[in-house]
Structure 1
């Protein structure tokens, strides 16, 4: 697979009619060095000498870049209240992470919130994979000011085996249930690892001890392209069949309205609209409500 050819083709996505105006506004942003950057729960950029005209340009582009799914961010006093309170997931995983001097990838990285958080652990290299030019433009907006040494690739999980770098740690959060062949997806992650490498994985699960899966008829919690929702046992079997030696269950967590909710920074519906209004233990389609398993798997 020729990744450079794919990269060149996907660079043309910047010319799409809905993206080109955003890229033009991005190119016109003032070149401001923040006086302070914090990579805590709210990724915060501060600058006390920001001029009003500069602030208006920054705020206008932040608003144009909706919907903001992952975050939150505070950009020079403007709070981007994202749909997902992504600090909840990251803080859950952080005690299990050792990223210092390691090559790290985040598959399905969205706007890079987790990648920015990882900077505090001083990894050797950070690469985000996501085939969404909208999310990359959000990342470029934030990183225009931070200038972090993060590589953002408009590539997906299927490109990982052919990537020029092998990784010590790969994050794959909220991706596996979008793949029609989850075992092949896990094999792709395995091929992207260095010896002794590990994957931090989260995916929807259903309750039960049997190695079984839910296969939604059409949508699950109004989400398209959801193929298989396994029990933890079935997920472990998938990982074993993909060639992973160890499987460590870190946590099981139900998605709640604290973690995912509608704000003015998104367009459309959120979790409250995806659940049965009379019973939040069920999705609007009648399936078990979203619950995720967080696991660490090693080769």
Structure 2
């Protein structure tokens, strides 16, 4: 850990590392006080924090798409033995490393994509996959890879949702000419965003709730709790289709 910094030194470094998407409280210095979602992600965390065990002693946590490390730090504060945060953005990783250091939390951060988690070669008691799913060109592949390579027990999942929050029962099969189910609001649907949504070119998908739950089940996760509108706490189970599309872990060239 670095020596204790003054508020002025923290503020100066926060400004150098900005802009921030996570509004963190670093010894009284807010990193994104004017966030358009308010005190984000803390305001969201308060709505589902009770779904995560208060004591994570002896547990390992993997935070995929950790951004500035808010959730990784919360898991470490709950006593997790090891917390690893992954992101592909160098700026976010620098923010996360600085925030954890200032907060006195021993967290490891690595530059890695959700598609490359097989390289880690280990499973984690809790995998956090918050705010990443709809930014991926291949979201179901990412879920398959998480199930295949790194999920040991719990998966904390969040996605932007659009459309109906209703979940209709789905038959195991339909005749070729049956089409009415596709028009129901509670049928699993995912909207593809070709250009931009909310001025963000990485917003590729906007699923409804039924779609998220169906894709989680298809990847081998059981929804154990739905503590917040966009948040699902899942448990790893056997994938219903064992021959699902899973890419092998990439190997570095030698």
State if a TM-score over 0.5 links the two structures. Answer: yes
Contiguous gaps of at least 5 residues in structure 2: 165-184, 237-254
The Cα shift of 1:79 comes to 3.3
Q: Mark the CA change 1:241 to 1:71 in structure 2 (over 3 Å): closer, same or farther.
A: same
Q: Mark the CA change 1:234 to 1:97 in structure 2 (over 3 Å): closer, same or farther.
A: same
Q: Find the partner of 2:19 among 64, 67, 73.
A: 67
The TM-score, its normalising length taken from structure 2, stands at 0.74
Contact between 2:47 and 2:228, CA under 8 Å: does it hold in 1?
A: no
Tell me, in whole angstroms, the C-alpha distance in 1 between the residues paired with 2:206 and 2:225: 16
* Residue in structure 2 matched with residue 228 of structure 1 by the alignment: 205
Q: Which consecutive aligned stretches of 4+ in structure 1 deviate over 6 angstroms post-superposition? A: none
CA RMSD across the alignment: 2.2
The TM-score, its normalising length taken from structure 1, stands at 0.64
Tell me, in whole angstroms, the C-alpha distance in 2 between the residues paired with 1:56 and 1:178: 35
Tell me, in whole angstroms, the C-alpha distance in 2 between the residues paired with 1:144 and 1:232: 37
Tell me, in whole angstroms, the C-alpha distance in 2 between the residues paired with 1:214 and 1:108: 22
Instruction: Map 1:236-255 onto structure 2 (within 5 A).
Output: 236-244=213-221, 246-253=222-229
Q: Find the partner of 1:172 among 109, 119, 129.
A: 129
Q: Mark the CA change 1:198 to 1:56 in structure 2 (over 3 Å): closer, same or farther.
A: closer
Contact between 2:23 and 2:30, CA under 8 Å: does it hold in 1?
A: no
CA displacement 1:71-112 (0-9 Å, x = unmatched): 23133x433334252111222221111233211011110111
Q: Does 1:94 align with 2:49?
A: yes
Tell me, in whole angstroms, the C-alpha distance in 1 between the residues paired with 2:137 and 2:223: 22
Q: Mark the CA change 1:73 to 1:190 in structure 2 (over 3 Å): closer, same or farther.
A: same
Q: How many residue pairs were aligned?
A: 209
Q: Does 1:78 align with 2:1?
A: no
Tell me, in whole angstroms, the C-alpha distance in 2 between the residues paired with 1:252 and 1:147: 29
